[in-house]
Amino acid sequence: MTNFLTKSISVSRAVSLVSHGIKPFVATRGLATVKDQSFTLNKKPPPPIAPYAPVSLKPTPATLKLKSGEVYSGTSFGANVHTSGEAVFTTSLVGYPESMTDPSYRGQVLVFTQPLVGNYGVPGIFKDEYGLLKFFESDRIHCEGIVVGDYASRYSHWTAVESLGEWCTRFGVPAISGVDTRAIVHILRDQGSTLSKLYIGEDPDFSKIPYSDPNERNLVSEVSTAVPVSYNPFGDIKIGVVDCGVKNNILRALVKRGAAVTVLPWNFNFNKVSDQFDGIFISNGPGNPTKVVETVQNVRHALATYKRPIFGICMGNLVLGLAAGLDVYKLRFGNRGHNVPALNVLDGKCQITSQNHGYALQDNVMPNGWTKYYVNANDGSNEGIRHKTLPFKSVQFHPEAKGGPQDTEFLFDEFLSKVRTDKIQREGIKTFVPETFISQPQVV
Ligand SMILES: NC(=O)CC[C@H](N)C(=O)O
């Protein structure tokens, strides 16, 4: 993973600001020691300052246009660039740093139904013991732009180092606020996800921005790792992760349960080395699943030859379904939110899940040997499939959440315990869960 660009000010710069009598804004939020130094250097409490970044007196206008013709005028609070993408909405109440860095949102203009967005700012760069970013799902913002009703430039949270607007600006992502998101979501709900354009500045000239349909591209190839990368290499079982745009918290869910994980490029033919892995995981990812032809072919080959467990999430469910012989279709407006009920058709339990997808498996007729696993309790769409006898299964929702409820995280336990018991049977030895080894990601 490339380094996260950070705008956090350094301690030396902060001290130099302090010596000029300027209380560093960012540092006083995150780094108590810098705040303490300001007291030492000035020998007296610093003068009171405005607790939040000044708001420009003359806001820059921003305009959102849907391909169906509707135009919404508001205010820009992000990057000064125009963009185009598929307008989709999420009903999540919190979790914008996680959603916006989820590679699955690539190519999309994200409309928040939650009316107030930005009030807890954006966290700094914190990594866990595995070298994974703690508060972001990847190292950058992936959505094309964001649309919010009411933007909070005043933020407060112990992890925050900058505002949502500053973060968007730094990553070149435009953002619009002050528009009627209820009206926009009604349109997207009724007519379906729609291409859109975001124009930043006076006198919008939309002819300057062509509509861009992300679903015509292979977005997975834009976000997948270029080379294999390993995490927690001393884990007792080895999982190959087919990276269609994997979220950090999926990798964390695997390594914190003791697995050694190797993240593989989306089009890498893992069948050539599959005996090196005790199980295969197929990740989430952006865009149209029918564009990831190589991944589907590789998984199809694995279904015919590989006898070890395979588990997939979201794009992983679509890819596994396509490989098993099902078709996919585009949902009218998709399921994006943190409160989506999914019903396990095998045990009748309903769980509340985190979701972010626009496509679904057509599961009316299941291929031989396969059965439905979960269905959506709102719209009846497919939420998972499993093989009747072989250890292959997948879910459409996100058990790893981030953000969202963790009710289905047990699916990682089930997957890895199946991988472990199979390994014991295969190798005839008692495997063990070692203490988790602390390791930084390594290119292998
Ligand atoms: N989160 C995901 O993996 C999304 C899968 C796929 N891109 C969809 O929109 O349906």
Measured CA to CA, the distance from residue 246 to residue 257 in angstroms comes to 17
Q: Within this chain, do residues 379 and 412 fall inside the same structural domain, yes or no?
A: yes
Which two three-digit tokens encode residue 428? Answer: 């005839």
Q: Please say if the pLDDT value at position 10 is more than 90.
A: no
Instruction: Let me know if residue 55 belongs to a domain.
Output: no
How many whole angstroms separate alpha carbon 193 and alpha carbon 295?
Answer: 26
Residue 390 Cα to ligand 1 midpoint, Å, equals 25
Taking CA atoms, 342 is separated from 34, 210, 286, 375, 408, in Å, by 48, 38, 21, 6, 10
Residue 363 sits in the same domain as residue 375: yes
Asked if residue 207 and residue 331 are part of one domain, the reply reads no
The residue-averaged pLDDT of 20-35 equals 34
CATH of the domain at 191: 3.50.30.20
Query: Does 199 share its domain with 242?
Result: no
Q: Which domain holds residue 71?
A: 61-216
Whether 189 and 326 share a structural domain: no
Nearest atom of ligand 1 to the alpha carbon of 316: 3
Give residue-wise pLDDT tens across range 346-378. Answer: 999 999 999 999 999 999 999 999 999 999 999
359 close to ligand 1 (CB < 6 Angstrom):
yes
Q: Which atom of ligand 1 is nearest to the CA of 283?
A: 3
Domain count of the fold of the chain? 2
Residue 1 lies in a domain: no
Check if 315 has its Cβ closer than 6 Å to any atom of ligand 1. yes
The four Cα atoms 291, 253, 240, 131 give a dihedral, to 10 degrees, of: 100
In terms of domains, do 225 and 360 share one? yes
In a domain, 434, yes or no: no
User: Do 382 and 279 have their domain in common?
Assistant: yes
Domain boundary among 165, 183, 216: 216
Going from the Cα of 323 to the center of ligand 1, the distance in angstroms, rounded, reads 16
pLDDT at residue 379, as a whole number: 97
Q: Which of 168, 190, 216 is the last residue of a domain?
A: 216
Is residue 14 assigned to a domain?
Answer: no
Q: Is the pTM of this model over 0.90?
A: no
The amino acid present at 277, given as its one-letter code, is F
**Domain assignment of residue 253, yes or no:** yes
Q: Is the CB of 284 under 6 A from ligand 1?
A: yes
Residue of 143, 168, 244, 314 marked active site: 314
- Atom of ligand 1 at shortest distance to CA of 398? 1
Q: Could you tell me if 168 and 243 lie in one domain?
A: no
Domain-located, residue 324: yes
- Ligand 1 atom showing the smallest separation from residue 356 Cα: 1
Q: Which of 109, 137, 104 is nearest to 288 (CA)?
A: 104
Ligand 1 neighbourhood includes 358 CB (under 6 angstroms): yes
Confirm or reject: Cβ of 287 under 6 Å from ligand 1: yes
Residue 165, ligand 1, Cβ within 6 A: no
Q: Are residues 196 and 278 in the same domain?
A: no
Please work out whether the CB of residue 104 comes within 6 Å of at least one atom of ligand 1: yes
Residue with tokens 């005043």: 154
Question: Whose Cα sits closest to atom 4 in ligand 1?
Answer: 357
Are 423 and 333 in a shared domain?
A: yes
Is residue 436 within 8 Å of 131, Cβ to Cβ? Answer: no
Whether residue 15 lies inside any domain: the answer is: no
Report residue 428's pLDDT band, with 50, 70 and 90 as the boundaries.
Answer: confident
Pocket test for ligand 1, best of 142, 222, 243, 318 (most atoms within 8 A of CB): 318
Domain annotation covers residue 92 = yes
Residues 260, 193 within the same domain:
no
Counting residues of the chain whose pLDDT is more than 70, the rounded percentage is 84
Q: Catalytic annotation on 314? A: yes
CATH number for the domain harbouring residue 316: 3.40.50.880
Q: Where are the beta strands (DSSP E) in 95-174?
A: 108-112, 116-117, 122-123, 145-147, 150-151, 160-162
Please identify, among 182, 216, 250, the residue that sits at the C-terminal boundary of a domain: 216
- Residue 359 Cα to ligand 1 middle (Å): 6
What ipTM is given for this predicted complex? 0.98
Over residues 182-229, the pLDDT tens digits come to 999 999 999 999 999 999 999 999 999 999 999 999 999 999 999 999
Which pair of structure tokens corresponds to residue 338? 């943190």
What pLDDT is stored for residue 41 in this prediction? 45
Q: In this model, does residue 28 exceed pLDDT 60? A: no
How much distance in Å is there from the Cα of 148 to the middle of ligand 1? 22
> Does residue 153 share a domain with residue 71?
yes
